[in-house]
Amino acid sequence: MSAIQDLILTTIDAHGAIEDTAALRINGQPVDQLQVIGVLNSLTAREVVSFTILDAEYWLLSEEGNKVVEHGSPEVMVFNAIPEGEDGISIPELQKLVGESYKFGQGAAFKNKWIKKSAAGFARATDSVVDSTRNELIAIRDGKVLAEKIMTDYKKKKLIDKKKTSSYNVVKGPKFTTTLAKEETDISQEMILSGEWKTAQFKKYNFAPGVTGVVPRGGYLHPLMKVREEFRQIFLELGFTEMPTNKFVDSSFWNFDALFQPQQHPARDAHDTFFLKDPATDRKYPRDYLERVKKVHSEGGYGSIGYVMDWKEEEAEKLLLRTHTTAISSNMLYQLAQEKEFRPVKYFSIDRVFRNETTDATHLAEFHQLEGVVADRGLTLGDLIGTLHSFFQKLGIPKIKFKPAFNPYTEPSMEIFSWHDGLGKWVEIGNSGMFRPEMLRPMGLPEDVSVIAWGLGVERPTMIKYGYDDIRELLGHKVNIDMVQKNPICRLDKKMGREL
């Protein structure tokens, strides 16, 4: 409860009413009446008190009036500046002594017969004077109201100003109490969980005409969409073309087999991958390409011995929710290989992928991946490292390092780590490598063409940027709207409306 509300309620309790709130004091200081009316309005709405407005006027010294109190009135200043005796003082000297007030003070002092002309200029015409203006202004400052004529005269001379105030007369309302329960505005999750809502008192809705509520905020971009757009801009600036990412469902063929991922690989287990029940299979892949993929898996080729195991189309035709965006890359590279003449490409994609994970604060069964693919003649691991450096530089991650890793479809492979200032350690942010000939040659890409590629999750940088510590909040309905508003998106494009 506010100190003012407390004071109002206890005063009424002790005296039955408050005659004039102007008399209220906290620590000896008068209480701000603007705060008083705020409290009174809310207490009145709850019928705890009712009040009437007391309008009052009071006088205040102007800046000029305060100067008179401090230095004396101009005519007294002029009188005091003239030395005793008949000779008096020269006008320029007197002007210099009195300063600004001279012009006004000299006339008044002369009119009052306090000073007279002398040989030098002016001499005193009386022994002493009384500064009644100053005395009266002091009285006004201390709250006295003098005769109307005097007041209007000083007002005309701009020595005093009239001010208006409001204070209040307060009496008990029908529901008067000194122990006022806190009123809740909204029911919260915590109140529901604790059961507090059962006894809590809620503020009444105010349907009074002309009362407007808070305009609900809405229409903001999801943090993931913002980060996705930032990534997209970086790729576009680097001259990359976006791959179409419009299907979540693909066959195991494009998601695994085309990438030379062995059919016995644990990732192809239902524990890790979501397979479809109905339809469960699809054979939308070229037969001749399928034959070449089958061959490289089971028998090898292009300098590889393959996996020396049976390869079954029944595994390849299984439909699944794509487990990585590399399924899109394999499709696009195959299409590129079918063009009459090879042309270098730089592709990227940013989209959702799915894995059969137990969800917790850092894992979800669906998340977003960002992928880059560059195909050209004569690319080396140095190109991959250099491209990643410039890419992460643009992303605002200047410190990266690589660690040798293994992927069925890349050789060499490198995990990408970035230095995390907040955590004070290196964190894994992605994976990369050079696609293997066992993947590229069956597609029909020329022997001297190499493809470098990398992929990273979108959620982790988004969580860091927008202050989430639970990934489930990011993809659930509990959007941290304040964080979203603090980070307005720079650009919007039509494509962004597609998802989420």
The least CB distance from residue 193 to ligand PHE, in Å, is 38
Q: Among 249, 240, 478, 494, which Cα is nearest to 350's?
A: 240
Helix or strand run (H / E) with residue 395: helix 381-395
Residues in region 35-64 near ligand PHE by CB under 6 A: none
Q: Does residue 371 belong to the site contacting ligand PHE (CB under 6 A)?
A: yes
Angle, CA 295 vertex, CA 291 and CA 299 arms, to 5°? 165
The DSSP secondary structure of 74-107, one letter per residue, reads HHHHHHHHSPSSSS-EEHHHHHHHHGGGHHHHHH
Q: What is the Cα–Cα distance from 255 to 67, expressed in whole angstroms?
A: 88
Q: By CB under 6 A, how many residues form the interface with ligand PHE? A: 11
Q: Does residue 432 belong to the site contacting ligand PHE (CB under 6 A)?
A: yes
Angle, CA 283 vertex, CA 279 and CA 284 arms, to 5°? 105
Buried b (16+ CB within 10 A) or exposed e, 100-128: ebbebbbebbbeeebbeebebbbbbbeee
In the complex with ligand PHE, which residue's Cβ is closer, 106 or 326?
A: 326
Task: Please tell me whether residue 471 adopts helix, strand or coil conformation.
Answer: helix
Q: Does residue 459 belong to the site contacting ligand PHE (CB under 6 A)?
A: no
Q: Does residue 349 belong to the site contacting ligand PHE (CB under 6 A)?
A: no
Q: Does residue 433 belong to the site contacting ligand PHE (CB under 6 A)?
A: yes
User: Of 332, 443, 453, 471, which one interacts with ligand PHE (CB under 6 A)?
Assistant: 453
Q: Does residue 431 belong to the site contacting ligand PHE (CB under 6 A)?
A: yes
The least CB distance from residue 370 to ligand PHE, in Å, is 10
User: Of 367, 454, 466, 468, which one interacts with ligand PHE (CB under 6 A)?
Assistant: 454
In the complex with ligand PHE, which residue's Cβ is closer, 326 or 331?
A: 326
User: Of 65, 223, 455, 461, which one interacts with ligand PHE (CB under 6 A)?
Assistant: 455
In the complex with ligand PHE, which residue's Cβ is closer, 75 or 257?
A: 257
Q: Among 269, 333, 257, 340, which Cα is nearest to 294's?
A: 257
Q: Three-state secondary structure along 212-269?
A: CCCCCCCCCCCHHHHHHHHHHHHHHHCCCEECCCCCCEEEHHHHCHHHCCCCCCHHHC
The least CB distance from residue 336 to ligand PHE, in Å, is 16
In the complex with ligand PHE, which residue's Cβ is closer, 5 or 432?
A: 432
The least CB distance from residue 214 to ligand PHE, in Å, is 44
Residues in region 295-324 near ligand PHE by CB under 6 A: 324
Q: Which residues bind ligand PHE (CB under 6 A)?
A: 324, 326, 371, 407, 410, 431-433, 453-455
